[in-house]
């Protein structure tokens, strides 16, 4: 397990941009992508979401799909983001390339839309089958002709981060030399209703790490990285390296983090150990930062346990909303952008510290010397994952 894992391409589609350049521009300008629902069919018109303002038909046209396609919205978003990533990496031949995809919503938006029709007369079976997360992965893989190694990871909000970790392990172990990793999730009535029923959804824009935070806003997005064994990379720009990773479980509650952030703490410790780094080597933390009462306090305590002196940190979910399974991938892109451009992106809407932790995130765009970025993704069921991206291998 000694091979360096290089990132040679990345692609992203989110509520703040249709590609890497647009997302970076929004981060620099401090422009969030949260608004009232327009595409999602929901009764909760008052709840802000990070919505991509294109219908499924619009997205399908971008991919030249015929009208009888069976792509879920998550698959449509994922395919568009993956196209950007492979183009940036210069990939034309998908032979012997792995694909590890993270998703939790999968085709849920399709099954909730067509279930009653199927229940009534058996129509729209092709969309009922879309419920399984693996269905979305297969649609993306089939579009590109990827078949050497294809798998799906669904570990709630750490799904894409775990996909990146698995891809890095496949390369470091010598099993594959090239793996496309990331995740995609779309908005659905089920997830919006679900988080709202848990009383952790904010009717205002989110305020990560603020003492007056009221809850999260959901978003939809897709992002992918092309990982390659550094030894095999020739004549390509290397955007950074996946130098560390770790996951652990809180083993505490189905939908809440433990009070002292045990799972988060263990995941960060494992990531630092894998990267052979000490806490003081980390210059920036892209925090999980959901803006919920439970998560932000729990993560703050885990950060304090890990770092004697806190590095600069922020939650970019204040831009995109919480994109569930895709969060780890879009924040991986943001972490690599931070390294490439030597800048730290702001934590929007922050006003005052949580009294228990006294931590204060970066609130304005900031330039800094950045060699290593820690990115946290913590999910329901205690699924905690931390990744470290580095400038050099």
Q: Residue holding tokens 């933390």?
A: 285
pLDDT digits (tens, 9 = 90+) for 291-313: 999 999 999 999 999 999 999 99
The residue length of the chain stands at 393
What's phi and psi for 222, nearest 5 deg?
Answer: -150, 145
- Give the model confidence (pLDDT) of 114-155 as tens digits: 777 767 776 666 666 777 889 999 999 999 999 999 999 999
The residues that bridge with 227 in the sheet, in sequence order, are 7, 179
Q: Is 322 a catalytic residue?
A: yes
Strand partners, 9: 226
- Residue 330: HSE in the Cβ half-sphere, 13 Å Cα cutoff: 38
Token code pair at residue 13: 């589609």
Which of 32, 322, 372, 384 is the catalytic position?
Answer: 322
Asked if 12 and 221 touch (Cβ cutoff 8 Å), the reply is yes
Confidence class of residue 372 from pLDDT cuts 50, 70 and 90? very high
Residues 364-374 have a mean pLDDT of 98
Q: Which two tokens stand for residue 284?
A: 């920036």
Indicate if 384 belongs to the active site: no
Q: Is the pLDDT of residue 253 over 70?
A: yes
132 is catalytic: no
pLDDT for the residue numbered 124: 65
Exactly one of 157, 186, 372, 384 is catalytic; name it.
157
Residue tagged active-site, from 24, 32, 186, 288: 288
- Per-residue HEC secondary structure of 215-284 comes to CECEECEEEEEEEEEHHHCCCCCCCEEEEEEEEEECCCCCCCCCCCCHHHHHHHHHHHHHHCCCHHHCCE
Confidence at residue 128, expressed as pLDDT on a 0 to 100 scale: 66
**Beta-carbon count within 10 A of 352 CB:** 11
pLDDT tens profile 222-245: 999 999 999 999 889 999 999 999
């Amino acid at each position: 397990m000694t091979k360096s894992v290089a990132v040679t391409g990345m692609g992203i589609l989110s509520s703040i941009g249709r590609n890497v350049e647009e997302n970076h521009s929004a981060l620099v300008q401090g422009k969030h992508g949260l608004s009232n629902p327009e595409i999602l069919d929901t009764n909760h018109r008052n709840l802000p979401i990070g919505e991509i303002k294109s219908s499924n038909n619009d997205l399908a046209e971008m991919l030249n799909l015929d009208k009888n396609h069976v792509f879920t919205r998550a698959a449509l978003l994922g395919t568009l983001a993956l196209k950007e990533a492979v183009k940036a990496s210069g990939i034309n031949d998908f032979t012997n390339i792995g694909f590890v995809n993270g998703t939790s919503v999968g085709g849920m938006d399709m099954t909730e839309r067509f279930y009653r029709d199927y229940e009534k007369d058996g129509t729209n079976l092709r969309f009922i089958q879309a419920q399984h997360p693996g269905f979305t992965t297969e649609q993306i893989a089939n579009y590109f002709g990827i078949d050497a190694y294809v798998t799906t990871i669904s570990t709630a909000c750490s799904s894409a981060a775990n996909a990146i970790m698995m891809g890095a392990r496949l390369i470091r172990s010598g099993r594959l030399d090239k793996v496309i990793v990331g995740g995609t999730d779309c908005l659905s009535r089920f997830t919006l209703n679900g988080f709202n029923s848990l009383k952790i959804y904010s009717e205002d824009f989110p305020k990560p790490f603020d003492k007056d935070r009221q809850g999260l806003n959901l978003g939809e997005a897709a992002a992918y990285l092309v990982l390659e064994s550094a030894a095999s990379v020739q004549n390509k720009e290397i955007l950074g390296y996946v130098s560390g990773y770790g996951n652990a479980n809180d083993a505490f509650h189905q939908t809440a983090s433990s009070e002292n952030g045990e799972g988060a703490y263990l995941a960060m410790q494992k990531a630092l150990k894998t990267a052979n780094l000490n806490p003081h080597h980390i210059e920036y933390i892209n925090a999980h930062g959901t803006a919920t009462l439970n998560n932000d306090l729990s993560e703050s305590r885990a950060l304090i346990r890990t770092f004697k002196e806190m590095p600069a940190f922020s939650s970019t979910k204040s831009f995109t909303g919480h994109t569930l399974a895709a969060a780890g991938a879009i924040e991986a892109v943001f972490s690599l952008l931070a390294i490439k451009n030597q800048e730290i992106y702001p934590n929007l809407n922050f006003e005052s510290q949580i009294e228990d932790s006294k931590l204060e995130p970066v609130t304005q765009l900031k330039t800094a010397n950045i060699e290593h970025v820690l990115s946290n993704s913590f999910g329901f069921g205690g699924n905690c994952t931390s990744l470290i991206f580095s400038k050099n291998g």
